[in-house]
A and B are shown apart, each in its own frame.
Chain A
């Protein structure tokens, strides 16, 4: 290391050597070879220190190279975003509505992929003991022909009770529901939809975990390919409504 600037002083007074440029160039050309030799042959503490320096240098170099490359990249057409909307919808936040899902091809493709596999067990068969609670009646509580329904049930609007003395099945009013919280599997939206009935058109319409409901979907505005408006769809129950106090279901699309 030169102490003070005697080298520069000499160069000012007498000029540089005639071959300074060439010597400097050749020296610079030797640098990578010397560095490589060091990197390969150093050992011990010196090696550790050298490697640390080298690592930092390399990181810097990489950043610079990337920066240079960025200048060369042309603007791709692929940078265009998806979800093109016309001008009148641009400034509006549109609620994601359920699309027309009866497109045959789309359905088939997705059925194969199992995208709509809902993690519910298959339909359970309920035993009578689970569904009904025996109610004893009579002066000595010996008659046991009455049953109280334990599960949530659906009563149609035209339903009228039989005279209490003769009715076999008691439907508690607390367990009568008209609306269900239905999730759309694709959109993860909840809708509160009135339901129309059960899958089986029986006298007693019970609703329990894994059973099927028919729900009124007219407010979703779904239309088939042929132009008919869809007003009812099936949904499968996903909770225990008699324990929770509400019915949660997923729409079967």
Chain B
């Protein structure tokens, strides 16, 4: 190491002379060392680092990476990045974390293109078909309506429920919709014919709180769907035989949210402050204890991958084999990470192997209502009744930023598929688009006349977002 270094002053940044060499340690997104001391010149560019990474770590050919040091991105050369860290000394190794970058960019949503009328009661749940060509909305008027996104007109009204439709879920191959209502009935609809399959499935004694299909890579035919209810039980139904296979008495109190994870476990978040991890034969694998009040919402870092399992950009056909490949890549040998949001104003990061949380994330000042992992699993955004959203690191739970702007409780939040933007729906009747890079408000989207209850951004194709609320309108937004 040359001790007689001359510092060249460029504006306010002090850069090291171009012939200095530094030792760099590469870390993978999980914080583990991928490669110890690499001796590099300070003028190494992003492209050169990319090539080095590709030769060291097994990566796909067209996967682009970005490099970070202390969450500051490498833009030009290593020199610039070093200059940004005043504490770095030449004797130490410089740590660089690499993250896979999404190849495509989604346009931010700026305007409303349609206000779809039809529902006679508040719209309670909204979900796009994975390809973003059909939007399904469930409402308090007991119907589910399907809207075509190309023409922004209605396709069909699915009648069959006898009370408010509280939740709905497209099957992984998007051929069926399962929906649950306020009287505890679950209906399975065949989307190709827009008809109810058989009869409504009876079994729950109180309202259905959430519905989840078994992931495609575990069952290519998508036969199993699970529903959770206020009565504390989880029922697994078979789509083909239209009967209840198992009823799991999971909790004493209501189950607020249930997810079917890719490793085969069912996660149930309950008002008894615990999260149960079950396998599909009804046996409890783990009980995650730690929260002090109701657990409102849970999310898995593989959520987006499971949703888009068999679909890909630009290809309408279903590729069932692809689901396993994509899932394994997202998991990359670790366990699924679960984040939970609770009424005790904290979030917790878990893995099903241990009943104690890995990280406890505090900061919100009121109940946290909704939490979502970004599609690449790097970030977590939480929406709370204290009118703010918070961004956290998806690997270690560190707080990154607080997003303020709403004047009423934030109800739901949805990510764009390239993990760059977040769309939040609030009680103050506006939706707001937030930029992750700038960590602030990008666009304000007013238009609803009353509270917005549900929002969804089309996963593949990501052009449109849909929202529904108390004013009974379904609004479509795009760039």
Whether a CB of chain B sits under 8 angstroms from the CB of A226 is yes
Q: Can you list 27 contacts pairing A with B, beta carbon distance less than 8 Å?
A: A77-B162, A80-B140, A80-B142, A80-B162, A84-B139, A85-B124, A85-B140, A85-B453, A86-B166, A86-B453, A87-B124, A87-B167, A88-B256, A88-B297, A88-B370, A90-B166, A91-B271, A97-B408, A97-B427, A100-B429, A100-B449, A100-B450, A221-B407, A221-B408, A223-B429, A225-B446, A229-B407
Whether a CB of chain A sits under 8 angstroms from the CB of B447 is yes
Q: What is the bound-complex CA distance between A225 and B164, given in angstroms?
A: 27
Q: What is the bound-complex CA distance between A89 and B429, given in angstroms?
A: 16
Whether a CB of chain A sits under 8 angstroms from the CB of B121 is yes
Whether a CB of chain B sits under 8 angstroms from the CB of A103 is yes
Whether a CB of chain B sits under 8 angstroms from the CB of A82 is yes
Chain A neighbourhood of B210, CB < 8 A = 87
In the complex, which of the residues B142, B167, B429 has the most CB atoms of chain A within 10 Å of its own CB atom?
B429
* Inter-subunit contact A88/B369 (CB<8 Å): yes
Q: What is the bound-complex CA distance between A87 and B142, given in angstroms?
A: 14
Chain B neighbourhood of A48, CB < 8 A = none
* Inter-subunit contact B430/A223 (CB<8 Å): yes
**9 closest cross-chain pairs (CB), A and B:** A84-B140, A227-B446, A221-B407, A221-B408, A84-B164, A86-B124, A86-B453, A87-B209, A84-B122
Whether a CB of chain B sits under 8 angstroms from the CB of A99 is yes
Closest to A101 in B: B449
Chain B neighbourhood of A223, CB < 8 A = 407-408, 428-430, 446
* Inter-subunit contact B124/A221 (CB<8 Å): no
Q: What is the bound-complex CA distance between A218 and B428, given in angstroms?
A: 12
In the complex, which of the residues A77, A82, A218, A226 has the most CB atoms of chain B within 10 Å of its own CB atom?
A77
Chain B neighbourhood of A221, CB < 8 A = 407-408, 427-428
Chain A neighbourhood of B167, CB < 8 A = 87
Whether a CB of chain B sits under 8 angstroms from the CB of A75 is yes
Q: What is the bound-complex CA distance between A82 and B427, given in angstroms?
A: 19
* Inter-subunit contact A80/B407 (CB<8 Å): no
Q: What is the bound-complex CA distance between A84 and B447, given in angstroms?
A: 21
* Inter-subunit contact A80/B429 (CB<8 Å): no
**Residues A227 and B254 in contact in the complex (CB < 8 Å), given A80-B142, A87-B166, A88-B296:** no
Closest to A229 in B: B407
In the complex, which of the residues A82, A87, A103, A227 has the most CB atoms of chain B within 10 Å of its own CB atom?
A87
Whether a CB of chain A sits under 8 angstroms from the CB of B415 is no
* Inter-subunit contact B142/A88 (CB<8 Å): no
Closest to B183 in A: A80
Q: What is the bound-complex CA distance between A86 and B121, given in angstroms?
A: 12
* Inter-subunit contact A86/B454 (CB<8 Å): yes
* Inter-subunit contact A84/B207 (CB<8 Å): no
Closest to B444 in A: A227
Partner of B163, one of A80, A91, A103, A225: A80
In the complex, which of the residues A77, A88, A99 has the most CB atoms of chain B within 10 Å of its own CB atom?
A88
Q: Closest CB of chain A to B184's CB: distance in Å?
A: 13
* Inter-subunit contact B408/A225 (CB<8 Å): no
Whether a CB of chain A sits under 8 angstroms from the CB of B331 is no
Chain B neighbourhood of A84, CB < 8 A = 121-122, 124, 139-141, 164, 182
Whether a CB of chain B sits under 8 angstroms from the CB of A144 is no
Whether a CB of chain A sits under 8 angstroms from the CB of B445 is yes
Q: What is the bound-complex CA distance between A229 and B441, given in angstroms?
A: 15
Whether a CB of chain A sits under 8 angstroms from the CB of B411 is yes
Closest to A218 in B: B407
B189-246 interface with A by 8 A CB criterion: 207, 209-210, 230
Q: What is the bound-complex CA distance between A90 and B255, given in angstroms?
A: 12
**Residues A224 and B446 in contact in the complex (CB < 8 Å), given A88-B256, A91-B271:** yes
Q: Closest CB of chain A to B399's CB: distance in Å?
A: 23
* Inter-subunit contact B124/A90 (CB<8 Å): no
Chain B neighbourhood of A99, CB < 8 A = 450
Whether a CB of chain A sits under 8 angstroms from the CB of B125 is yes
Q: Chain B, 129-144, contact with A by CB distance < 8 Å: what is the 0/1 string?
A: 0000000000111100
Chain A neighbourhood of B453, CB < 8 A = 85-86, 89
* Inter-subunit contact B164/A80 (CB<8 Å): yes
Q: Closest CB of chain B to A103's CB: distance in Å?
A: 5
